[in-house]
Amino acid sequence: MSEPAAGPATRPSGWRLGVGGWLGAAIALGVAMTAALSLVWTPHDPAAMTMADRLQGPSALHPLGTDHFGRDTLSRLMAGARVSIAVSLVAVGLGAGVGVPLGLLAAARRGWIDEAVMRFNDLAFAFPVLLTAVLVTALLGPGAVNAILAIALFNIPVFARVTRGAALSIWKRPFIQAARLAGRGRPRISLDHVLPNIGGTLIVQGTIQVALAILAEASLSYLGLGSRPPEVSWGRMLNEAQTFLFLSPRLALLPGLAIVVTVLGLNLLGDALRDRLDPRLRPRPGDT
Amino acid sequence: MAWFLARRAVALVLTLWAASLVVFVVLEVLPGDPALLILGVGAREDTLAALRESMGLDQPAWARYLNWVGGLLTGHMANSLTYDVPVPALLGPRLAVSGPLALLALTLAVALALPLGVLAAARRGRATDVTVMGVSQLGVAVPNFWLGLLLVLVFAVGLRWLPSGGFPGWEAGLGPALAALILPALALALPQAAILARVTRSAVLEVLGEDYMRTARAKGLSHAEALWHHGLRNAMIPLVTIMGLQFSFLLAGTIIIETVFTLPGIGRLMFQAIGQRDLVVVRDLVVLLAATVGVVNFLVDVSYALLDPRLRHGRAGVADE
């Protein structure tokens, strides 16, 4: 599908992302727009309970049926998209906000700073991601903000490592030597020359991390550690649906499908962007 | 080789030491008095003081840290705050669930992913390849706990072949015990298999382009023979790395999967201990999990040396990057 292409000849060029890439972009855009729409309009109030209408199948009034409290499933899925996207974007943004400067610093300074950043990374990778997230939210208390912190925390080492790796190869390029000779300081060079050149790599990584963050947010809310009612989240919907698995499997299918489609879209987009952006960043002959 | 392993061993010990320090400090700064937690808010001050003393809570932080780490190293861990039994006694029966579960999941993931990845690479660009890659792209996007629910829906609710959750215990016999572990293991394994299949495919594709593969073909080996004798061994290095990483995902995955299937394992113990603020159990478990991950990654490093003779003879430098 959108696996890295074999060689330069078959690599997508220009703004062509390939079928997978465009599909991914369309899905990501669709989910984002649904989330935005849910801010101003949903078919019903996602939190409104109508016990008379509980566990109904699809109808004209409720296109995707209702849950065990008679709440409209479509409205809840739309509101869930908002929480999922908001939590993931903010968490990945925070993680990148700390991780990218750390990586830039490590690559620019090398020496003990580099060593310290890398050892911090090793330490962070010693704790399985979900374990850290569960621990953080459990200790700070459940809630969307703490879920964001927990997810941001494990994004820091990822961005630090990717930034450092990409930045190191840029630092060896001739134009950086030129900037050094022109008397530019390391922080200036990092911001003016290194960062723009590794932007593509970071965007690709960011796309993948948002997909992972959506999965992590869903896991946390499934465990009851994510956003709290009346906020809706896909993970929590799945948790509640498990009780009614026998009665109404639809309730367990829909939020899961929403997660899968969103994550799939982001992954497809990420893969296509990587194919599109990475060639320029691959080490060239002469770089080591 | 010895030098390489010694360096890795030192790094492992240092990482674990740092991890234990982080866990201790984080749990130390948390509000909450374990003695108060056990006795309840109505407890008398002198009873609280006596309990604090018996738990060693009146000692300075460094002494408590040393006691704790010493206990971990010698197996004399403190009592759980909620169960009032030593942590090892809690761990034993739960390891007997989580250990086989993780092992079964890893086995399933590898057994599915390696053949599919090799097949996709060998049939590159054709229908088989496209199908395998398409399914794996989907597999990467599926949350394991939702997959668990789907498996329950199909195999427990629909077909009634397997139980939807719970664990009868190994004393109920191998059959029922394994039956209870199959769906959770599948839920853990399939998303990991999807990742592993993709990595296998690209590792094999890389190897297929190497000169020694052409040499092997030139001396008369069939495509499959060349791949089997020369290709796979070389493709194993990136694969073993990913498998090592996946092991830590599997361990963490037990937290959520054991909750979905109400299995009495380590993951569920961890989740409950966090909920009950049983910090004695939490800190021991976190460090033990980090240690398991560290040891597995150390073994991965050792296997590099076994797979790659250049490393064994210390000619190829092992870069940190």
CA Rg, chain A, in Å?
22
Sort out which chain A residues have CB atoms less than 8 A from B253's CB and list them. Answer: 130
> Residue B65, Cα to own-chain centre: how many angstroms?
26
CA distance A187 to chain B (A): 22
Quote the pLDDT of residue B125. 84
CA distance A42 to chain B (A): 25
The reply to whether A1 touches chain B by the CB within 8 Å rule is yes
Quote the pLDDT of residue B25. 84
Query: What pLDDT digit, counting tens, does each position of B113-149 carry?
Result: 999 998 898 888 889 898 998 899 899 899 999 999 9
Is the pLDDT score of B111 beyond 70?
Answer: yes
Q: Do B15 and A123 touch (CB under 8 A)?
A: yes
Count Cα atoms within 13 angstroms, Cβ side, for A116: 7
Quote the pLDDT of residue A285. 44
Sort out which chain A residues have CB atoms less than 8 A from B282's CB and list them. Answer: 135
Q: Do B141 and A139 touch (CB under 8 A)?
A: no
Query: What pLDDT digit, counting tens, does each position of B167-196 carry?
Result: 888 888 888 888 999 999 999 999 999 989
- CA dihedral for A83, A89, A92, A96, sign (positive or negative): negative
CA distance A111 to chain B (A): 13
> Residue B120, Cα to own-chain centre: how many angstroms?
27
Quote the pLDDT of residue A9. 41
Q: Do A122 and B282 touch (CB under 8 A)?
A: no
What span, in angstroms and rounded, lies between the C-alpha atoms of B196 and A253?
26
Peptide bond into B238 cis (omega under 30): no
CA Rg, chain B, in Å?
24
Quote the pLDDT of residue A102. 93
CA distances from B2 to B84, B304, B311, B312 (A): 44, 13, 10, 8
Q: What band does B5 get if pLDDT is binned at 50, 70 and 90?
A: confident
Quote the pLDDT of residue B319. 40
| Angle (deg, nearest 10), helices B279-307 and B232-260 | 160
A206 and A223 Cβ atoms separated by less than 8 Å = no
What span, in angstroms and rounded, lies between the C-alpha atoms of A42 and A112?
54
What span, in angstroms and rounded, lies between the C-alpha atoms of A277 and A269?
12
β-bridge mates for residue A66, sequence order: A72
Look up tokens 């590898």; give the residue: B110
A229 and A147 Cβ atoms separated by less than 8 Å = no
Quote the pLDDT of residue A4. 46
Q: Do A134 and B255 touch (CB under 8 A)?
A: yes
Quote the pLDDT of residue A284. 45
φ and ψ of A35, to 5 deg:
-60, -45
Mean of all residue pLDDT scores within chain B: 83
Mean of the pLDDT values across residues B298-319?
66
What span, in angstroms and rounded, lies between the C-alpha atoms of B153 and A251?
12
Query: What pLDDT digit, counting tens, does each position of B144-171 carry?
Result: 999 999 999 899 888 889 888 888 888 8
Question: Hey, what CATH class is A18-38+71-281 in?
Answer: mainly alpha
Q: Map residue A12 onto helix, strand or coil.
A: coil
Quote the pLDDT of residue B1. 66
- Taking the model in full, what pTM does it have? 0.84
Mean of the pLDDT values across residues B275-304?
84
What span, in angstroms and rounded, lies between the C-alpha atoms of B42 and B64?
26
The reply to whether A246 touches chain B by the CB within 8 Å rule is yes
Quote the pLDDT of residue B181. 92
Quote the pLDDT of residue B315. 47
Write out residues 126-155 of A within 8 Å (CB-CB) of B.
126-131, 134-135, 138-139
Of the partner residues B15, B133, B253, the one whose CB lies closest to the CB of residue A122: B15
CA proximity to A38, closest of A233, A260, A235, A238: A233
What span, in angstroms and rounded, lies between the C-alpha atoms of A27 and A256?
15
The answer to which of A146-155, B27-36, B281-290 has the lowest mean pLDDT is B27-36
What span, in angstroms and rounded, lies between the C-alpha atoms of B205 and A147?
39
Is the pLDDT score of B271 beyond 90?
Answer: no
Q: What percent of chain B has pLDDT over 70?
A: 93
A162 and A202 Cβ atoms separated by less than 8 Å = yes
Q: Do B286 and A127 touch (CB under 8 A)?
A: yes
Quote the pLDDT of residue B104. 93
Is the pLDDT score of B269 beyond 70?
Answer: yes
State the Cα torsion B287-B2-B230-B299 to the nearest 10°.
-10
A86 and A221 Cβ atoms separated by less than 8 Å = no
What span, in angstroms and rounded, lies between the C-alpha atoms of A176 and A168?
11
- Name the residue ranges covered by the structural domains of chain A: 18-38+71-281
Q: Do B271 and A223 touch (CB under 8 A)?
A: yes
Winning range, highest mean pLDDT, from A62-76, B1-15, B114-128, B212-226: B114-128
Quote the pLDDT of residue B313. 59
Is the pLDDT score of B109 beyond 90?
Answer: yes
Q: Which domains does chain B have, with CATH numbers?
A: 2-74 (no CATH), 90-275 (1.10.3720.10)
CA distance B102 to chain A (A): 14
Sort out which chain A residues have CB atoms less than 8 A from B286's CB and list them. Answer: 127, 131, 135
Q: Do B270 and A223 touch (CB under 8 A)?
A: no
Region label for B244, one of left (φ > 0), alpha (ψ between -120 and 50) or beta (otherwise): alpha
> Residue B171, Cα to own-chain centre: how many angstroms?
25
Sequential pLDDT tens for chain A (288 residues): 444 444 444 444 455 678 888 999 999 999 999 988 888 888 888 887 777 777 777 887 778 888 878 788 888 999 899 989 999 999 999 999 999 999 999 999 888 888 888 888 877 777 777 788 877 877 777 888 888 998 998 899 999 999 998 898 888 888 888 988 888 888 889 888 899 888 888 988 899 899 999 999 999 889 888 888 778 889 989 988 888 888 888 888 999 999 999 999 999 998 888 877 765 444 444 443
Q: Do A129 and B252 touch (CB under 8 A)?
A: yes
Quote the pLDDT of residue A69. 80
- Amino acid B29 reads V
CA distance A19 to chain B (A): 13
